[in-house]
C-alpha cells in the first residue's frame, strides 16, 4: 500500500477508535518522533489539556526508565504518551504508572485469555519476558501536580528477530504469545478505557483497589528479589507495594526498607 494512503488509513482508524474513549480529549498521531514523552511534555507545558494523547508509528530515540533506550520499530508496537493532570495527593503520584500496567494485564486476560504479570515497578511480562514498559514523568509546583506524562510502550507484533540481540532472551510481543490475531488499535481502545476506570478509582482515593490488583498480578510477591538501585543492590523478599508506589523489601535479618527507584529481578531467574 502506498505510504501516504497507509498513513491516512492509520490516522483515520485511530480517529474513529479514540472517539470511543472518554478519557481522550485530543490526539496527535505522528509518523515518527524522537520520543512521544518529549513531544507530550512540550504540549503539556503549553497548556494541552488532560487526556491529550501522543502516539507514533515509530520513535527514533524512544526512552526507557533509568536512562535506557526503548526500541520502537515502525508499526510493530504501540508507542504513546498520555498527558494527565490528576486530582490526587502528590504523595500518590508514584502510583500513576501502575495503572496502565494493571489495565494491560487485565485486558490481555479478558480479550486474549493471556496470563501476563506485573513486575515492579512498571513492567508487564508474559512467560517472564517483557511486553510492556512505562515511563512516568511529571512537573510539580510545590506540592501541586501541574501535569504527568505517562509513556507506554507495548510490543505487539515483533517476532524474536525484530528485537536487538541483547533483548531477544528478555522481550517478547503479544502476537508471539497468542494465536489469536491482535488488532493494536482495538487493544489501545480497551486499554485506555480500562485505565480510565482505574484513574477514577485513584482520584476517588481508592488506592487499595490499585494496589491489590497490581499485587494480584505480580509474579514476585513474597519471593526473593534483587533490586538494582543507583548506588547499591538490595536483596530481600518483596513484601508489599506502598501507597507511593515503592517496593517494601525485607532482608534475611527481618529488616524492612522502602525502595522508590530501581530495577527488580527475581533471584531464581
Ligand atoms: C521502561 O520499561 O524502561 C519504560 C519504557 C517506556 C517506553 C515508552 S514508548 C512511548 C513513550 N515514549 C518514550 O520515549 N518512552 C515511552
Q: Which pLDDT value is given to residue 230? A: 81
* pLDDT at residue 1, rounded to an integer: 59
CA of 63 to the centre of ligand 1 (A): 5
What is the tens place of the pLDDT at every residue in 204-220? Answer: 999 999 999 999 999 99
Q: How confident is the model over 21-38, as pLDDT tens digits?
A: 999 999 999 999 999 999
Local confidence band at 6 (pLDDT 50, 70, 90 cut-offs): confident
Report the pLDDT value the prediction gives residue 157, as an integer from 0 to 100.
97
Quote the pLDDT of residue 269.
66
Using the mean position of ligand 1's atoms as its centre, give its distance from the Cα of residue 256 in Å: 30
For residue 68, give the ligand 1 atom closest to its CA: 3
Ligand 1, CB within 6 Å, residue ranges? 35-37, 59, 62-65, 68, 70, 72, 79-81, 123, 133-135, 151-153
- Sort 144 into a burial class: Cβ within 10 Å, 0-12 / 13-18 / 19+: exposed
Contact yes or no for 85/67 (Cβ under 8 A): no
Cis amide leading into 246 (omega within 30): no
* pLDDT tens string 208-256: 999 999 999 999 999 999 999 888 899 999 999 999 999 999 999 999 9
pLDDT tens digit string along 97-147? 999 999 999 999 999 999 999 999 999 999 999 999 999 999 999 999 999
Query: Radius of gyration of the chain from Cα atoms?
Result: 18
> Ligand 1 centre from 153 Cα, in Å?
5
Does residue 4 register a pLDDT over 80?
no
State how far the alpha carbon of 254 is from the alpha carbons of 12, 158, 241, 249, 264, in Å: 56, 43, 17, 9, 19
pTM above the 0.75 mark?
yes
What pLDDT digit, counting tens, does each position of 74-88 carry?
A: 999 999 999 999 999
How many angstroms does the Cα of residue 113 sit away from the middle of ligand 1? 25
pLDDT at residue 21, rounded to an integer: 98
**Coil vs helix vs strand at 177:** helix
- Quick check: 57 pLDDT over 70? yes
- Mean confidence (pLDDT) of the chain: 95
Q: What pLDDT is recorded for position 7?
A: 85
Which atom belonging to ligand 1 lies closest to the Cα atom of 56?
A: 10
- Name the pLDDT band for 15 (thresholds 50, 70, 90): very high
* Cα(151) to centroid(ligand 1), Å: 5
Torsion of CA 99, 263, 116, 244, to 10 degrees: -30
Amino acid at each position: 500500500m502506498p505510504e501516504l494512503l497507509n498513513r491516512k488509513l492509520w490516522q483515520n482508524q485511530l480517529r474513529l477508535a479514540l472517539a470511543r474513549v472518554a478519557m481522550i480529549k485530543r490526539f496527535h498521531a505522528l509518523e515518527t518522533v524522537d520520543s512521544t514523552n518529549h513531544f507530550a511534555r512540550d504540549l503539556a507545558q503549553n497548556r494541552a489539556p488532560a487526556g491529550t494523547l501522543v502516539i507514533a508509528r515509530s520513535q527514533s530515540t524512544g526512552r526507557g526508565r533509568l536512562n535506557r533506550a526503548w526500541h520502537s520499530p515502525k508499526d510493530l508496537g504501540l508507542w504513546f504518551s498520555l498527558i494527565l493532570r490528576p486530582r490526587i495527593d502528590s504523595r500518590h503520584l508514584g502510583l500513576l504508572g501502575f495503572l496502565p500496567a494493571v489495565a494491560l494485564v487485565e485486558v490481555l486476560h479478558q480479550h486474549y485469555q493471556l496470563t501476563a504479570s506485573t513486575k515492579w515497578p512498571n513492567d508487564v511480562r508474559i512467560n517472564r519476558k517483557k511486553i510492556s514498559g512505562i515511563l512516568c514523568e511529571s512537573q510539580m509546583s510545590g506540592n501541586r501536580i501541574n501535569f504527568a506524562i505517562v509513556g507506554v510502550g507495548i510490543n505487539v507484533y515483533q517476532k524474536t528477530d525484530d528485537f536487538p540481540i541483547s533483548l531477544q532472551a528478555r522481550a517478547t510481543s503479544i502476537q508471539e504469545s497468542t494465536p489469536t490475531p491482535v488488532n493494536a488499535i482495538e487493544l489501545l481502545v480497551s486499554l485506555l478505557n480500562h485505565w480510565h476506570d482505574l484513574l477514577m478509582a485513584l482520584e476517588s482515593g481508592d488506592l487499595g483497589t490499585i494496589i491489590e490488583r497490581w499485587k494480584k498480578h505480580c509474579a514476585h510477591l513474597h519471593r526473593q528479589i534483587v533490586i538494582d538501585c543507583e548506588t547499591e543492590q538490595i536483596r530481600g523478599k518483596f513484601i508489599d507495594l506502598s501507597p507511593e508506589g515503592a517496593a517494601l523489601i525485607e532482608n534475611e535479618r527481618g529488616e524492612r526498607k522502602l525502595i522508590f527507584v530501581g530495577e527488580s529481578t527475581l533471584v531464581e531467574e
